[in-house]
């Protein structure tokens, strides 16, 4: 088992800095997910840990041991890549055993490890097949099995599910989560899919343009994003944003978007009284916008006039794409809603669940 520390890690390719002073402490047996858009530096961070790229500045530490100058094969890690990278001419068994054979491991120990990994992954009956005879999900299991047999201190996953169809991705997410629980080993997982991150991680590191923006549990990231980027990246559909100003009306604090006004609840208003006239970005998640017919009775609801532009009936919910003046936004409402395209209504904003960001710094104001 192992802890991992990224200490002041910097990575440059020529004049381009792709990782900027990255500091993350990954606890022993933790499932940490690095998430961010394509090109943000998350895969580079993983490759630096694996020893596949050279660190420009800083220290990479595994179990209190600085491994900057340690060869990849001596770091006691195993990596599962986006491409399965299976040898087409070898059987599943031989693909999984290949690395162990290179290490001159006894045949009995190789067989024990391969058989055990195959049982864990449910591929025992596939051991004599060639990769071309396998489905995408089965190939992915073999790639994971090849990592398991090494019995490493740390597992690294680089977007391993991106080549699978939607249904299989859901299944494999659950399989990898169960695998982590069973092996009780440190997992570090890279993805651009925030749904994967939210459903699998014990903690998530959100990275953008080489910077670590926030490191927290999935629920805290969702409920308390530090800035506009994190708020917009975590959650699907994404949080709605409205350029606005905070204005005072007597003792009331009002969010004025120019097209509509909503009042901050009294319990929260005291936090914003000194910010009168300040330019902000007002944020609210789609599930906190309700069809008035089905709005909960125990919320501080503010009505906003809107026109329904598009509807998406999902069965268990309905997504409403709404227009209020120049503002377009999404509401996730009760599936019994009778609102349809062209309907004019007053949707209800749950003001207990709103987010306020500084328009200049884009940081959350709490």
Residue 70 lies in a domain: yes
Residue 283 lies in a domain: yes
Q: Are residues 266 and 185 in the same domain?
A: no
- Tell me: the pLDDT tens digits for 119-176? 988 899 999 999 999 988 889 889 999 999 988 999 999 998 887 888 888 888 988 9
Residue 344 lies in a domain: yes
Give the CA dihedral 284, 287, 293, 297, nearest 10 degrees: -80
What are the phi and psi torsion angles at 78 (to 5°)? -135, 140
Domain ranges, residue 114 = 4-233
Q: Are residues 188 and 112 in the same domain?
A: yes
**Confidence (pLDDT) at 1:** 62
Q: Are residues 221 and 245 in the same domain?
A: no
Q: Are residues 97 and 175 in the same domain?
A: yes
CATH number of the domain residue 127 falls in: 3.40.50.300
- Specify the pTM: 0.90
DSSP, collapsed to helix, strand or coil, labels residue 175 as helix
CATH number of the domain residue 279 falls in: 2.40.50.140
Give the CA dihedral 9, 11, 16, 22, nearest 10 degrees: -30
Q: Are residues 29 and 13 in the same domain?
A: yes
Residue 184 lies in a domain: yes
Contact 124, 115 (CB under 8 A): yes
Q: Are residues 188 and 265 in the same domain?
A: no
Residue 364 lies in a domain: no
Q: Are residues 214 and 256 in the same domain?
A: no
Q: Are residues 48 and 92 in the same domain?
A: yes
Residue 363 lies in a domain: no
Q: Are residues 248 and 227 in the same domain?
A: no
Residue ending a domain, choose from 172, 203, 233: 233
Q: Are residues 245 and 200 in the same domain?
A: no
Q: Are residues 218 and 244 in the same domain?
A: no
User: Which single residue is written with the structure tokens 């939607």?
Assistant: 166
Please spell the DSSP secondary structure of 27-95, one letter per residue. Answer: PTT-EEEEE-STTSSHHHHHHHHHTSS--SEEEEEETTEE-TTS-GGGS-EEEE-SS----TTS-HHHH
Residue 52 lies in a domain: yes
Residue ending a domain, choose from 233, 262, 280: 233
Residue ending a domain, choose from 200, 233, 266: 233
The one-digit pLDDT tens for each residue of the chain (366 residues) are: 689 999 999 999 999 999 999 999 999 999 999 999 999 999 999 999 999 999 999 999 999 999 999 999 899 999 998 888 899 999 999 999 998 998 899 999 999 999 999 998 889 999 999 999 998 888 988 999 999 998 899 999 999 888 788 888 888 898 899 999 988 999 999 999 989 999 999 999 999 999 999 999 999 999 999 999 999 999 999 999 999 999 988 888 999 999 999 999 988 888 888 888 899 999 999 999 999 999 999 999 999 999 999 999 999 999 999 999 999 999 999 999 999 999 999 999 999 999 999 999 999 998
Q: Are residues 152 and 204 in the same domain?
A: yes
Contact 256, 245 (CB under 8 A): yes
Residue 227 lies in a domain: yes
As for how many domains the chain has, the answer is 2
């Amino acid at each position: 088992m192992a802890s991992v520390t990224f200490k002041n890690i910097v990575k440059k390719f020529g004049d381009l800095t792709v990782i900027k002073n990255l500091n993350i402490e990954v606890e022993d047996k933790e499932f940490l997910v690095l998430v961010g858009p394509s090109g943000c530096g998350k895969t580079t961070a993983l490759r630096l840990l694996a020893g596949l790229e050279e660190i420009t500045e800083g220290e990479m530490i595994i179990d209190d041991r600085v491994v900057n100058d340690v060869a990849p094969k001596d770091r006691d890690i195993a990596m599962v890549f986006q491409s399965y990278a299976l040898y087409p001419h070898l059987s599943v068994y031989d693909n999984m055993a290949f690395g162990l054979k290179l290490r001159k491991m006894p045949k009995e120990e190789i067989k024990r490890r391969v058989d055990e990994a195959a049982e864990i992954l449910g591929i025992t009956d596939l051991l004599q097949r060639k990769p071309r005879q396998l489905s995408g999900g089965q190939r992915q299991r073999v790639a994971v099995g090849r990592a398991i047999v090494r019995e490493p201190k740390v597992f690294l996953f680089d977007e391993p599910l991106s080549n699978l169809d939607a249904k299989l991705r859901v299944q494999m997410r659950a399989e990898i989560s169960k695998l982590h629980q069973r092996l009780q080993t440190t997992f570090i997982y890279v993805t651009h899919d925030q749904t994967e991150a939210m459903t699998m991680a014990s903690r998530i590191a959100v990275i953008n343009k080489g910077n670590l923006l926030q490191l927290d549990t999935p629920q805290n990231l969702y409920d308390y994003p530090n800035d506009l980027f994190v708020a917009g990246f975590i959650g699907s559909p994404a949080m709605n944003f409205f350029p606005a100003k905070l204005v005072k009306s007597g003792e009331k604090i009002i969010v004025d978007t120019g097209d509509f006004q909503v009042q901050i609840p009294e319990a929260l208003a005291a936090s914003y009284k000194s910010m009168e006239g300040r330019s902000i970005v007002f944020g609210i998640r789609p599930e906190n916008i309700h069809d008035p017919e089905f709005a909960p009775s125990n919320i501080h609801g503010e009505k906003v006039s809107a026109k329904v532009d598009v509807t998406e009936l999902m069965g268990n919910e309905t997504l409403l794409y709404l227009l209020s003046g120049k503002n377009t936004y999404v509401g996730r409402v009760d599936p019994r809603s009778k609102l349809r395209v062209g309907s004019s209504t007053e949707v209800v904003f749950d003001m207990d669940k709103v987010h306020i960001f500084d328009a200049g710094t884009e940081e959350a104001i709490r």
